[in-house]
Amino acid sequence: MNTIKVGLLGFGTVGTGVVRNFQHNSELIQQRLSHKLELTKIATRDVDRDRGVRLEPGVLTSDIDEVIANPEIDVVIELIGGYEPAKSYILKAIANGKHIVTANKALMAVHGQEIIAAANQQGVTVMFEAAVGGGIPIISAIKENLCSNKFSSVLGILNGTCNFILTKMSQEGSNFAPVLQEAQELGYAEADPTFDIEGVDTAHKIALLAALCFGTTVDFDQVYTEGISKISAIDIEFAKQMDYTIKLLAISKNHGDQIEVRVHPTMIPKRYQLAQINGVFNAVRLIGDFVGPTLLYGSGAGMDATASAVMGDVMAVSRDLIAGGKPRVPILGYNADKIKNLPIMAMSEVVSNYYLRFTTADQISVLAKIAGCLGTHNISIQSILQPEEREIDSVSIVVMTHEAKEADITSALAEIEQLDVVLQPTCLIRVENAPV
Ligand code: HSE
């Protein structure tokens, strides 16, 4: 085997980046592999669109089977995205003995078990580095370089679009909608941007990282997911005044018999490294029992960075093929029969610090009533901020709590919102004060 033949499904932004990487670095790739890597076929619905890259005649096809049922092709790259038809194509390619490289986080997070089982049965691999953190080699770090570690937590900023929006809102005082549009124009956002801004894309990614770190299946439906669409300029401003930054954080912690897996806007102290991750950049922080805290940082979205991750996987698969064919590393980095089924901790059991912003009437003893309710529910106040600026008939009271159980916060807020001096629903943002 002197040439490894690769087929590509889907020819959008990342697909174009993959072609550019193939062409631009073909000599380097050959030097590193000592074999030729050939992009034999690209299947796309739109064969006529000009993507600004030149291809040999016959490479483009609208017939999927020219990729997934092509006996010459060794590796299939899936960049269609979404659940169907991507899943059916991948399963068919696996049945035909192809190794799979995909950037499809939604598919892997929700249907990964079925795909991995099919691949294991066929003796082929499925690699998905590009599904998490764009160009950051986080999956290979977990599966390979750090694989002698027991991980206690993995958390990070995993959505470039949200981080871009929050950064701009924070630095420029911009509004949400125009910044989202800019992110879409730059090619960062998913086709449906609600997946980005409502945290679903981040949830897909942390579900995959939790599975890889803790060697467990992750029931995606149980991942608590809250996006950034309700974050307002006023909360960004209060966060700044208290030396905090708001980030959309994905958090997973291992409690032995269960795991925490959650996504929500989170206040982190400005001095923490993750608070410095701005724009479209992503970062993942792992804690391993031997390596200690480790931060990986890089471009989390975009054509070339994501293509780099796809191509890294293609070359890793190619090296296995050159060495004899059997995938060297298990798909989740643990032997298939050692994968656990750890439950996800109920959100009501989660312990965190909280930022609570109450909108109240400016009357005597409002603060005492709120503090009383918090106290009744075992919630200890760490600090209070009541700015002098106010609306005509209401004021904001900001409370930072010590660690509290989410169930206690929920009951306290239900009681507080019954008070006639409380004029609007409370704004709640969880605070991560552990050194993230
Ligand atoms: N829409 C994703 C993001 C692309 O903004 O991070 C990379 O997964």
> Over the stretch 303-343, which tens digit does the pLDDT of each residue have?
999 999 999 999 999 999 999 878 999 999 999 999 999 99
Ligand 1 centre from 90 Cα, in Å? 22
CB 78 near ligand 1, within 6 Å: no
Question: 159: CA distance to ligand 1 center in Å?
Answer: 5
Both tokens of residue 412?
């306290």
What residues contact residue 166 under an 8 Å CB cut-off, 6+ apart? 228, 231, 236, 246, 247, 248
Q: Residues 235, 173: contact at Cβ < 8 Å? A: no
| 161 Cβ inside 6 Å of ligand 1 | yes
Least confident of 5-14, 233-242, 289-298: 233-242
Q: Are 235 and 205 in contact (CB under 8 A)?
A: no
Amino acid at 158: L
Spacing, Cα 200 to ligand 1 middle (Å): 11
Cα(30) to centroid(ligand 1), Å: 30
Question: Does 205 participate in catalysis according to the annotation?
Answer: yes
Identify the pLDDT of residue 140.
97
221 φψ region: left (φ > 0), alpha (ψ -120 to 50), beta (else): alpha
**Alpha carbon nearest to ligand 1 atom 4, residue:** 301
Q: What is the pLDDT of residue 191?
A: 67
**The residue to which tokens 């980046």 are assigned:** 17
Q: Does the beta carbon of 301 lie inside 6 Å of ligand 1?
A: yes
Q: Which of 188, 299, 303, 306 to mutate to test the pocket of ligand 1 (most atoms within 8 A of CB)?
A: 188
pLDDT digits (tens, 9 = 90+) for 225-246: 999 988 888 899 999 999 999 9
CATH classification of 347-431, choosing from 3.40.720.10, 3.10.20.440, 3.40.50.2300, 3.30.70.260?
3.30.70.260
- Which 3 state secondary structure label does DSSP give 288? strand
Q: Is 17 in the pocket of ligand 1 (CB under 6 A)?
A: no
Q: What is the DSSP letter of 221?
A: G
CA distance 40 to 61: 11
| 183 CA closest ligand 1 atom index | 5
User: How long is the chain?
Assistant: 436
Strands 75-78 and 60-61, how do they pair?
A: unpaired
What is the distance between the alpha carbons of residues 199 and 229, in angstroms, rounded to a whole number? Answer: 9
Return all residues near 433 (Cβ < 8 A) that are at least 6 apart.
269, 353
Spatial strand order of the sheet with 126-127 comes to 60-61, 36-43, 3-9, 75-78, 99-102, 126-127
- Residue 33: CB atoms within 10 A of its CB come to 16
DSSP state of 51: -
Pocket test for ligand 1, best of 184, 190, 198 (most atoms within 8 A of CB): 190
For residue 117, what are the CA distances in angstroms to 27, 54, 97, 331, 369? Answer: 36, 37, 14, 10, 56
Tell me, in angstroms, the distance from the centre of ligand 1 to residue 263's CA: 15
| Ligand 1 pocket member 201 (CB < 6 A) | yes
Q: What is the pLDDT of residue 301?
A: 85
Q: Between vectors from CA 149 to CA 145 and to CA 152, what angle results, nearest 5°?
A: 125
Q: What is the mean pLDDT of residues 41-45?
A: 97
Identify the active-site residue in 205, 230, 270, 340: 205
Structure tokens at 72: 């010459």
Q: For the chain, what percent of residues have pLDDT higher than 90?
A: 86
Q: Where are the chain's structural domains?
A: 3-134+303-338, 138-299, 347-431
Residue 436's Cβ-side half-sphere holds a number of Cα atoms within 13 Å equal to 29
How far apart CA 433 and CA 436 sit, in angstroms, is: 7
Inter-axis angle of helices 13-24 and 26-33, nearest 10: 70
* Cis-peptide, bond into residue 327, ω within 30° of zero: no
d(CA 286, ligand 1 centre) in Å: 20
Q: Tell me 230's DSSP state.
A: T
For β-strands 281-288 and 151-157, DSSP reports them as antiparallel
Fold for 138-299, please state it. Dihydrodipicolinate Reductase; domain 2 (3.30.360)
Q: How far is the CA of 404 from the centre of ligand 1 (A)?
A: 32
Ligand 1 pocket member 170 (CB < 6 A): no
Tens digit of each residue's pLDDT (9 = 90 or more) over 238-293 = 999 999 999 999 999 999 999 999 999 999 999 999 999 999 899 999 999 999 99
- Cα–Cα distance, 218 to 254 (Å, whole number): 12
The CATH number for 3-134+303-338, chosen from 2.40.100.10, 3.40.50.720, 3.40.50.300, 3.40.50.1360, is 3.40.50.720
pLDDT, tens digit (0-9, with 9 covering 90-100), for 47-84? 889 898 999 999 999 999 999 999 999 999 999 999 99
Which residue has the least CA distance to atom 7 on ligand 1? 301
Q: Which atom of ligand 1 is nearest to the CA of 159?
A: 6
Query: How far does the chain reach from its first CA to its final CA, in angstroms?
Result: 47
Q: Whose CA is nearest to atom 8 of ligand 1?
A: 301
For the residues 211-229, what does the mean pLDDT come to?
97
Establish whether residue 250 lines the binding site of ligand 1, counting it when its CB lies within 6 angstroms of any ligand atom: no
Averaged over 151-164, what is the pLDDT? 96
